[in-house]
A and B are shown apart, each in its own frame.
Chain A
Amino acid sequence: MTNYQKLEERLRNEGMKPIPKWIFSLRQTFVWALFLGSVVTGAIGFSIILYAVQQADFSLLSHITHSPMEKILALIPLVWLAGVIVFLALAITAYRHTWKAYKFSPLYIFFISVLLSMATGTLFFISGGARQLDKVFDATLSVYEGIEEKKSQMWYNPDKGLLYGDIMSAESKNLVLKDKNGVEWQISIQDAFAAPILTLEPGEKIKIIGKRTGDHTFDASELRPWGGHHGKAGRDNR
């Protein structure tokens, strides 16, 4: 009996059949879907981190009594940071199960996944998607604290010289601001520096650095637009 005859006999006796092709196709499709899904989810996380960084007003840290590191950590959404790491690991694991993944070193796969997530995330951030998504999560998930909410908590601190709200009326030396609780503040802007892109018109939402001078009076030293740095990515819908 030849070796092949022995093999054939074994295959027939044990009723062994090839695994159907669709199972292999499905497996590969699943692996690629997992890879792409992980890259996209990682990208969304990265875009929200970008949004948080953009909204963080790092220049403000000197006005705050907490340690800078503490404040940075408070502003960066750690949930998303953890999410990015988890989905990045998932993307790498999925990619390593593709047919020819062994052609590339693990380090190369890591960099490709990171680059893909960062590029997609940056596009998502520029298009304004990160901000919208953060709002949706904030509105629908009770446990989720949106970046806007964190920012609002940070900027509503009149005793520490931080205030934000909508302009009710504006003159050359004063303006009236309505804060988030509906309280109207008299703001002196005589010596204040205003960001060049800022327009002091009724309805405009702004943030102010300065000094509280009374119950509802405030001396501004700097005026900034609420929406951070411009463009679709961080601009408020008013």
Chain B
Amino acid sequence: MILSQEICSRYTDAELVKLSATDMDYFSCIFQRYEIPLLRYIQKITMAEEQVAEDILQDAFVKIWKNIHSYRSDIKLSSWLYRIVHNEAISYWRRSRVRGGGRTELLSEANTSWLKEDLESANETNQNLNDAIYSLEDKYREVLVLRYLEEKSYEEISDILKIPEGTVAIRLSRAKNLLKQSFQKRQNHP
């Protein structure tokens, strides 16, 4: 049974995890609370179409349900959920890349200003940015998406990707450099 928004809003994330372990209905609160951001994240990281993203999310939530007792409140529930969804999405992404499946656009006009500002490339179109991010190695694309498109902190990215915060900073800096180089190369050889 799906609990109403009104009931769900009475509980914190940690309380919902505890309640879900004994009463499955409360699991619907977690699902509803994070469904949209997680779906959006899956699409950004895999560039999969909506139906595929929903399937990935469902597989991820099966894992979340099975492992609900392993969650510990010393990290944010959202980080833990993103971690599981991320792993599921990446494994899909690797499979689909081998198959050479289609992709959706990664960026919308609304969410690129921060990234463009940081890259000092305000004139780049979203299409160019999209292509450049798409061509990056997984490890660089992941941190860029989490930082600029999901607006996660370094600590949250560290919890999601299970890497030290220092590594997050290094990867982010390298990812930005790679993007800048890619833009410069294109300007020199249009």
B45 at the interface (CB under 8 A from A): no
With contact pairs A3-B35, A7-B31 given, residues A105 and B65 touching in the complex (Cβ less than 8 Å)? no
Please tell me if the beta carbons of A19 and B66 are within 8 angstroms of each other in the complex: yes
Please tell me if the beta carbons of B58 and A18 are within 8 angstroms of each other in the complex: no
- Tell which of A6, A7, A16 has the most Cβ of chain B within 10 Å: A7
B69 at the interface (CB under 8 A from A): yes
Cα distance, A21 to B21, chains bound together (Å): 10
Chain B residues within an 8 Å CB radius of A16: 62, 65-66
B interface SS class: helix
For chain B residues 27-48, which have a beta carbon within 8 Å of chain A? 27-28, 31-32, 35
B14 at the interface (CB under 8 A from A): no
With contact pairs A2-B2, A11-B24, A19-B67 given, residues A105 and B62 touching in the complex (Cβ less than 8 Å)? no
Chain B residues within an 8 Å CB radius of A8: 1-2, 24, 27-28
Pick the residue among B61, B70, B158 that contacts A7 (CB under 8 A): B61
**What's the minimum C-beta distance from A179 to chain B, rounded to whole angstroms?**
60
A100 at the interface (CB under 8 A from B): yes
**What's the minimum C-beta distance from B113 to chain A, rounded to whole angstroms?**
31
Cα distance, A2 to B65, chains bound together (Å): 18
A102 at the interface (CB under 8 A from B): yes
Please tell me if the beta carbons of A7 and B62 are within 8 angstroms of each other in the complex: yes
Please tell me if the beta carbons of B31 and A102 are within 8 angstroms of each other in the complex: no
Chain A residues within an 8 Å CB radius of B70: 19, 24
Chain B residues within an 8 Å CB radius of A10: 58, 62
With contact pairs A102-B158, A102-B163 given, residues A18 and B67 touching in the complex (Cβ less than 8 Å)? yes
**Nearest B residue to A104 by beta-carbon distance?**
B164
With contact pairs A102-B158, A103-B164 given, residues A3 and B67 touching in the complex (Cβ less than 8 Å)? no
B120 at the interface (CB under 8 A from A): no
Please tell me if the beta carbons of B57 and A3 are within 8 angstroms of each other in the complex: yes
**What's the minimum C-beta distance from B160 to chain A, rounded to whole angstroms?**
10
Chain A residues with CB under 8 Å of chain B are 2-8, 10-11, 16-21, 23-24, 99-100, 102-105
13 additional A-B pairs beyond A7-B31, A18-B67, beta carbons within 8 Å, are: A4-B32, A8-B24, A10-B62, A11-B62, A16-B62, A17-B66, A18-B68, A23-B69, A24-B69, A24-B70, A99-B74, A102-B164, A105-B167
Q: Top 9 nearest A-B pairs by Cβ distance?
A: A102-B162, A21-B69, A24-B70, A18-B68, A4-B31, A4-B28, A105-B164, A7-B58, A7-B61
